[in-house]
Amino acid sequence: MAGPSASFFQSRLISTDPDTDARKASFRAKLKQRRAEAAAANGAAIAQLAAERFLAAIPVKAGQVVAGYWPMGDELDPRPLLQQLQRRGALIVLPVIQTGSRLLLFRLCKDLSQVPPAGAYGIPAPPEGSSPLQPDVLLVPLVGFDREGHRLGMGGGYYDTTLRALRRTRAAGAKLPLAVGYAFAVQQVAELPHGDGDEMLDWVVTERGAVAFGQNAKESE
């Protein structure tokens, strides 16, 4: 499936540090090429392996809400994983871009075999009338990640804004939602440039395995 329209990327956030922006742009170009090559070489098989790695490492209970994404371009396809989670009783939601906001809304998707209607910027999303739900686990698409759990996206700021809001507004005592980067292993680098507005990942899952960061790494030991 083709990627989002040009206007999607023109809406990206610009940080206050031109040097960080330039370094991110350089990494983004290199890592997009790596991702494209991995997807072209064996994308379907890698998606199946990544699903197995996720299921072996991250427990999801029946009734929990998992936010996936509809794969665009050469992003790692999460549908094999989402379909398995759905069969196990998880509720699958997909992100919806809201007009005038970088805060994503998540709506229930009951049928992952059918492409949802095109939403903002041509990205498939569940239509109005689908139940909005707050996720317990978010599968986060990305361009790159590093060994500390920093994520490089396309620069729109939607996931950073959404993760920040979810982490701040979660009810007192409630478990924070897990942010799980979902990617090809070749998208990893030793260290990514990052700023104050960049939210960290809790886990990254690739075809090679699942890696936890921060407190999640301690809990998984």
Q: Which neighbouring-strand residues pair with 120?
A: none
Per residue in 76-97, pLDDT (tens digit) is 999 999 999 999 999 999 999 9
In this prediction, residue 218 has a pLDDT band, given cuts at 50, 70 and 90, of: low
Residue 48 in this model has a pLDDT that exceeds 60:
yes
Residue 165 in this model has a pLDDT that exceeds 60:
yes
0.95 cut: is pTM over it?
no
User: Is 64 part of a structural domain of the chain?
Assistant: yes
* Number of Cβ atoms within 10 Å of the Cβ of 24: 22
In this prediction, residue 215 has a pLDDT band, given cuts at 50, 70 and 90, of: confident
Residue 124 in this model has a pLDDT that exceeds 70:
yes
In this prediction, residue 172 has a pLDDT band, given cuts at 50, 70 and 90, of: low
pLDDT at 4: 47
pLDDT at 201: 98
Which of these ranges, 15-24, 40-49, 89-98, 160-169, has the smallest mean pLDDT?
A: 15-24
List the 178-182 sheet strands across, edge first: 105-108, 91-96, 65-67, 137-140, 178-182, 203-206, 209-212
For 49, the domain range is: 6-214
Pairing of strands 203-206, 209-212: antiparallel
pLDDT at 169: 81
User: Is 203 part of a structural domain of the chain?
Assistant: yes
Pairing of strands 203-206, 178-182: parallel
User: Is 1 part of a structural domain of the chain?
Assistant: no
Q: Rounded to an integer, what distance in angstroms lies between the CA atom of residue 70 and that of residue 51? A: 15
Q: φ and ψ at 186, to 5 degrees?
A: -70, -5
Averaged pLDDT, 62-70: 98
**CB distance 184 to 206 below 8 Å:** yes
Q: Rounded to an integer, what distance in angstroms lies between the CA atom of residue 197 and that of residue 83? A: 32
Q: Rounded to an integer, what distance in angstroms lies between the CA atom of residue 6 and that of residue 101? A: 18
Task: Name the residue among 114, 115, 112, 95 with its Cα closest to residue 8.
Answer: 95
Domain count, the chain: 1
User: Is 206 part of a structural domain of the chain?
Assistant: yes
**CB distance 59 to 203 below 8 Å:** no
**CB distance 125 to 95 below 8 Å:** yes
pLDDT at 12: 45
Residue 2 in this model has a pLDDT that exceeds 90:
no
pLDDT at 171: 61
Q: Rounded to an integer, what distance in angstroms lies between the CA atom of residue 28 and that of residue 151? A: 11
Percent of the chain past pLDDT 90, that is, above it, reads 80
Averaged pLDDT, 118-146: 95
**C-alpha dihedral sign at 3, 6, 7, 11:** positive
User: Is 219 part of a structural domain of the chain?
Assistant: no
pLDDT at 7: 41
In this prediction, residue 42 has a pLDDT band, given cuts at 50, 70 and 90, of: very high
Pairing of strands 188-189, 203-206: unpaired
Averaged pLDDT, 192-218: 90
Averaged pLDDT, 71-77: 96
Pairing of strands 209-212, 178-182: unpaired
User: Is 221 part of a structural domain of the chain?
Assistant: no
Q: For position 118, which CATH number holds?
A: 3.40.50.10420
User: Is 120 part of a structural domain of the chain?
Assistant: yes
